Amino acid sequence: MRFRCITFIAALILAASCGESDESMCTRVFNLALTQYKAMDTLLGESELPRTTENDSLITSKPSWWCAGFYPGSLWYIYLQTGDTEVKALAEKNTHKLYQETQKARSHDIGFVTNCSYGNAWRITGDTCWRKPVIDAARALCSRFNPAVGATMSWNTSPKRPQWKYPVIIDNMMNLELLMEAHKLCGTDSLREIAITHARTTAKNHFRPDFTCWHVVDYDPDNGSVRMKCTHQGYSDDSAWARGQSWGLYGYTMMYRESGEPEFLKQAESIAGALIPRLPEDGIPYWDYDDPAAPSTYRDASAGAIMASALLELSRLSTDTVLADLCQKTARRQLKTLCSADYLAPEGSNGHFLLRHSVGNMPGGSEVDVPLTYADYYLLEALLRLSGKL
Ligand code: GLY
């Protein structure tokens, strides 16, 4: 163990001093992931998935938590990079934990849960046994679509949030990937149409003239009119909550890749053009771009990792060569920071997560400056994109 720690620290020092290549950075981080994620599995009960840490100890979630798909998804990514058969078995086991979740859309999060687990299992192995839950979940998600609004509802109405009638959050752009994947699998056009309509409605109502976005838009379910634009996890209603901006960037980039509709490429390019100049030097956003306490406030590594993954994809898709180059350079800068000792945890620490310093819900006072399962997932995805494996 002591020897491994010394090796890891030596690798970090070497990386910092001699300008590590992309390939060696990927290898280094995936080797760490292989060890950390295998160790993490030994701490999980039959129906438990990793969520975050408290005092460096692992906190788990039930399969119904919105983040439950990211651990199996990360295991699939580690398998894709390493070909390790033990990790494949863990990916299978942890994916199966989520089967019930693919059958009923309690919220829009069925998209995150299913696409990261079953979706990656299908895309990475090509084994047809993984396809049906993807199609089932997409059909379940469509039951949340209201044509009067032109969007799927994110959260159910609840006495805890009496102010909203039909809340749609920017995060929901991410769930459209499930619909587009299922459309490819079963050919049902309505899945694609619902995804495209949702993306168009969101572009129209969530975005400000400067291409930052609100977190929540609440609609009147009877006629689709906008009732309210506000935040749930951001600094203020009119601020740019960092992870929300990353979800938007990723969502429109993905929707262009999947649909070929040029309006989505334009939207993604405009979002990237708005966010990149607002990043701090090392590329990792503060948890909210408009927190007046910056620089004396928290970074959100998850927002940085999601953004890096999206920017690499956008740099591949954009025909604007200047912007594509800027996206590529920014993503590299972000990954260099995330893969440095400032963010990447030493082996055996951090509840076996990779990244430190994410923020889940600052106004709610939960998950502040901690590891989060999705920060790791998007870091691994971005590294796979960097090395051309995705
Ligand atoms: N989807 C919830 C979040 O990004 O925190």
Non-local (6+) Cβ contacts of 356 within 8 A are 301, 343, 344, 345, 350, 369, 370, 371
Residue 347 pLDDT > 80? yes
Cα separation, 231 vs 214, in Å, equals: 7
Query: What average pLDDT does range 248-264 have in this prediction?
Result: 98
Q: What share of the chain in percent tops pLDDT 90? A: 94
Task: Give the angle subtended at the CA of 180 by the CAs of 177 and 186, to the nearest 5°.
Answer: 135
pLDDT in tens, 39-83: 999 999 999 999 999 998 999 999 999 999 999 999 999 999 999
Q: Which amino acid type is present at position 153?
A: M
User: Residue 302 CA: which ligand 1 atom is closest?
Assistant: 4
Residue 18: pLDDT band with limits 50, 70, 90: low
Residues with CB under 6 A from ligand 1: 66, 171, 233, 243, 360
Query: What's the pLDDT at 13?
Result: 44
Separation of CA 278 and ligand 1 centre (Å): 21
**Structure pTM?**
0.95
Residue 56: its pLDDT value, please? 87
Residue ranges in 42-188 assigned as alpha helix (H): 70-82, 85-96, 110-114, 120-125, 131-142, 176-186
Between residues 291 and 11, the one the model is more confident about? 291
Residues catalogued as catalytic: 109, 171
Quote the pLDDT of residue 14.
Answer: 46
State residue 301's pLDDT score. 98
Output the residue whose Cα is nearest ligand 1's atom 2: 171
Per-domain boundaries in the chain: 4-386
pLDDT confidence of residue 6: 45
Write out pLDDT tens, residues 172-210.
Answer: 999 999 999 999 999 999 999 999 999 999 999 999 999
Half-sphere exposure of 311 (CA within 13 A, CB side): 29
If you write DSSP's letter for every residue of 136-157 in order, what string do you get?
Answer: HHHHHHHTTEETTTTEE-SS--
Cα 355 from Cα 254, distance rounded (Å)? 24
Mean pLDDT (whole number) for 88-94: 98
Q: What fold does the segment set 4-386 form as a domain? A: Glycosyltransferase (1.50.10)
